[in-house]
Chain A
Amino acid sequence: MPLGARNRINLDLFTDAYRVTGNTTVGVGGINAELVNPNSSYLEIKDAYVSRINQPGEIVTSYTTASFRKDNINFIVLQDRRVGIPVGTQHARSIFTRGRPVPIFLTVPSFEIIGEIAHEGKVTPLNTLVKSTGSYLLIFAAKASASLYPQIAYSGDLIMVSKNRIGLFCLGADNI
């Protein structure tokens, strides 16, 4: 994308109790840059359609524009990983191309999420959560299930999970 260009991406965004489907406009830095932009604590969603977590297919209300407090976002489901990988790390020798897939299980309020992270080096929660850059953990081929309604699940090529909202965090294959 040329410098200064803006691009519209579709996303499913989840808070503790709501699912919001819409689109947002991003610049050359992609969705990552918008999420960490220090000039605004809010993320603006266009054509926002709001559903409750227990009835996620039904639309409660819709608005042309909705704003989200960024620290209230649990995770974002994207159907194309290229939209969510930070710009500049998508090609050549980035962690997302040379890292090995590591199975992961984690929880955020109201949801449990499984999938894979791309990781290089020793796999520890410290490395993954603290030493990695960015405020969102990128989980590939991911599935988020509602804790209270496990039959309700959302799949995405990529789920971006807010690190601040993570409760339980498990790395590696299921050992039990």
Chain B
Amino acid sequence: MARIFVIDDDEQLLRMVGLMLERGGHNITLISNPHNGLEQLKANKPDLLVLDVMMPGMSGHDLTRQIRETSELETLPILILTARSQDIDRDTALKSGADGYLSKPVTSQELIEQVDSLLTQKAQVSRQSGSVQGMVLALFGLRGGVGKTTLATNLALALRRVSQQEVCLVDLSLSISQAAFHLQLKSQSSWADLLANNNFDWPTLNDHLAIHPTGLRLLAAPPLPQAPSTISTEFVRQVITLLRENMIFTVLDLPPVFNPAFMAVLEISDVGLHVITPDVITVRTAVQTNRALANANINIKQKSFILNQTSPTAQLSQATVERALSGRIPFHVDYDPNQIQALPQGNPLVLTAVDSPLPAVIKRMADVIWKRMAAKMKS
């Protein structure tokens, strides 16, 4: 979620643009008087400004020039949104210092796409100027069918939406690419295509990433089932190292397999999210998994549980599960009937049903994770 200021003297249009951006998941401040705009921008330092051109007393171009001459606002992304739709108007907007241009009337999709694109560009620039290492989150669990891919996909999308930073979802499944199915992406390549190349670099890896319309990237799993030994420790280390250098968030969806490669993934990840469902078999598996990890001296930097209720009735209460695991469960996803519809439609719930139980918890998780990362980036 980005903080976006909109300046337009037409209050009706101002409200309409504000509504479009709010629906795109952003936090909006509306300003109808351009003369107050500069001071408010200086005081609040938003992430992006949407600016009209034709305003009485001060044109959007004049205000853009003033903003560019103000040291604390010189990198503020500015999107000009105007009824003047000629090429010369676009040129004038860009010459005055704006970063993007859209002519009215504009559709909600065009506006949100352009805003997201500018926010991503800004994030890339600030990332290039700094050297922040991205955060790697691994969702794991040795019991299948607990909704791990659903959670990983929704978490990656929520992180993308809340941060507007580069986010990559890695589907390390050994069967078919489930994440691609969740996102309705027809990926042409997968991590299996990288296996032949012993020493691939970032451009090569980047070529194998599919891009979702939200900007989320996906390293898909291969279309055919693979043996667990296919993935080596060196391979996953290389993939994660490159993604850590080039993405702000990498979300790994690990298969229910206990082998050296996946243990290595857990060791180098910043956060390990153990996904369980409230039933006896899963909880027992989780207890044994914890023991196995301890016996193998696998030290996860930060570990947390997600209790995901995938059926209408829970076999065990949260308190019982916590007692069995000897630990608190910070994230409990209630049964979400909408998920049955979301999966075949390829519309993850964080994009379509924000008030539904699953996206509500996922959004809270993404907020917590992004706040921590934002603080790291600032420092």
Contacts and interface: CB of A to CB of B under 8 A. Distances in A.
Question: A and B bound?
Answer: yes
Contact of A62 (B54, B61, B84, B93): B54
A58 B92 contact: yes
A36 interface: no
Interface stretch (A96-104, A119-127, A150-158): A150-158
A16 interface: no
Interface in B35-59: 53-57, 59
A56 B61 contact: no
B83 interface: yes
B86 A62 contact: no
The DSSP consensus for interface residues of chain B is: loop
B88 A56 contact: yes
Interface in A146-176: 152-155
A79 interface: yes
Interface size class of chain B, counting residues whose CB lies under 8 Å from the partner chain: 10 to 19
A145 B87 CA distance: 12
A94 B3 CA distance: 52
B89 interface: yes
Contacts of A32: none
Interface size class of chain A, counting residues whose CB lies under 8 Å from the partner chain: 10 to 19
A153 B85 CA distance: 12
B91 A79 contact: no
B295 to A, nearest CB: 70
Nearest to A152: B88
B83 A62 contact: no
Contacts of B93: 57
Contacts of A77: 86
A143 to B, nearest CB: 10
A151 to B, nearest CB: 9
Contacts of A21: 54, 83-84
Contact of B86 (A58, A64, A154): A154
Interface string B130-158: 00000000000000000000000000000
A155 B83 contact: no
A59 interface: yes
Contact of B54 (A59, A79, A153): A59
A44 interface: no
Nearest to B55: A62
Contacts of A155: 86-87
**In this complex, which of A59, A79, A154 has the most chain B Cβ atoms within 10 angstroms of its Cβ?**
A59
A153 B87 contact: yes
Nearest to B60: A59
Given A57-B92, A58-B61, A58-B92, A12 B86 contact: yes
B56 A64 contact: yes
Interface in A44-63: 47, 49, 56-59, 62
A90 interface: no
Interface in B59-90: 59, 61, 83-89
Contact of A153 (B53, B56, B83, B88): B88
Nearest to B95: A57
B87 A62 contact: no
Contacts of B61: 57-59
A153 B55 CA distance: 23
A128 interface: no
A24 interface: no
Contacts of A62: 54-57, 59
B88 A49 contact: no
Nearest to B89: A57
Given A56-B86, A57-B61, A59-B59, A49 B91 contact: no
For the complex of A and B, list the 6 residue pairs with the smallest distance between their C-beta atoms, beginning with the closest: A57-B92, A59-B59, A49-B54, A57-B88, A154-B86, A56-B88
10 contacts: A21-B84, A57-B89, A57-B95, A59-B61, A62-B57, A79-B85, A152-B88, A153-B86, A153-B87, A155-B87
Interface of A: 10, 12, 21, 47, 49, 56-59, 62, 64, 77, 79, 152-155
Given A58-B61, A153-B86, 18 more contacts: A10-B83, A21-B54, A21-B83, A47-B54, A49-B54, A49-B84, A56-B89, A56-B92, A57-B88, A57-B92, A58-B92, A62-B56, A62-B57, A64-B56, A152-B88, A153-B87, A154-B86, A155-B87
